[in-house]
Amino acid sequence: MFRSHNCGELRIKDLDTQVTLCGWVHHIRDLGKLLFIDLRDRYGTTQIYFDSNNKPQLYQIAKNLGREYVIQIEGIVRERSNKNPKMPTGDIEIDVDRLTVLNKSKIPPFTIEDDTDGGEELRMQYRYLDLRRNVMKETMIFRHELNLSIRNFLSEKSFLEIETPFLIKSTPEGARDFIVPSRLNPGNFYALPQSPQLLKQLLMFAGMDRYFQIVRCFRDEDFRADRQPEFTQLDCEMSFVEREDILDLFEDMMRYLFNKLLNIDLPTFPRLTYQKAMETYGSDKPDLRFDMPIIDITDKLKGHGFKFFDDSEYIGGLLLINKPSVSRKYIDKLTEWVKSPQIGSTGMAYIRYLDGELKASISRFFSNEDLQKIMNSLKAGNNDILFIISGNKEKSLNILGNLRLKLANDYQLIQKNTFKPLWVIEFPMFEWDDENQRYTASHHPFTSPLNEDIELLDTNPAIARSNAYDMVINGVEVGGGSIRIHDKNLQKKIFKLLNLTNQEAEDKFGFFLKALDFGAPPHGGIAFGIDRILTVMLGLNSIRDVIAFPKNNMGRDLMMQAPAPISEEQLKELHIKII
Residue whose C-alpha is closest to residue 401's, from 503, 254, 494, 277: 277
Residue whose C-alpha is closest to residue 55's, from 102, 96, 101: 96
Residue number with CB closer to a copy of itself (53 or 561): 561
* CB 22, min distance to a copy of itself, A: 4
* CB 561, min distance to a copy of itself, A: 6
Q: Which amino acid, residue 142?
A: F
The answer to whether the CB of 471 falls within 8 A of the CB of 250 is: yes
Residue number with CB closer to a copy of itself (177 or 384): 177
Residue number with CB closer to a copy of itself (188 or 376): 188
- Give the gyration radius of the chain's Cα atoms: 30
Bridge partner residues of 473 (DSSP): 421, 476
For helices 243-262 and 530-538, what crossing angle results, to 10°?
50
424 phi and psi, to 5 degrees? -105, 130
* CB 127, min distance to a copy of itself, A: 7
Element (H, E) at 25: strand 18-30
Query: What is the spatial distance between Cα 542 and Cα 560, in angstroms, rounded to a whole number?
Result: 21
Residue number with CB closer to a copy of itself (286 or 449): 449
* CB 423, min distance to a copy of itself, A: 18
Residue number with CB closer to a copy of itself (109 or 303): 109
Residue whose C-alpha is closest to residue 491's, from 527, 463, 452, 520: 520
* CB 238, min distance to a copy of itself, A: 10
Residue number with CB closer to a copy of itself (165 or 347): 165
DSSP summary character for residue 498: T
* CB 51, min distance to a copy of itself, A: 25
For the chain, the straight-line distance linking the first and the last C-alpha, in angstroms and rounded, comes to: 55
Residue whose C-alpha is closest to residue 308's, from 348, 270, 280, 336: 348
* CB 277, min distance to a copy of itself, A: 27
Residue number with CB closer to a copy of itself (81 or 561): 561
* CB 16, min distance to a copy of itself, A: 24
Residue number with CB closer to a copy of itself (68 or 426): 68
For residue 563, whether the previous peptide bond is cis, meaning omega lies within 30 degrees of 0, is yes
Interacting residues of 362 by C-beta distance below 8 A, sequence separation 6+: 306, 349, 351, 371, 388
Neighbours of 423 (CB within 10 A): 19
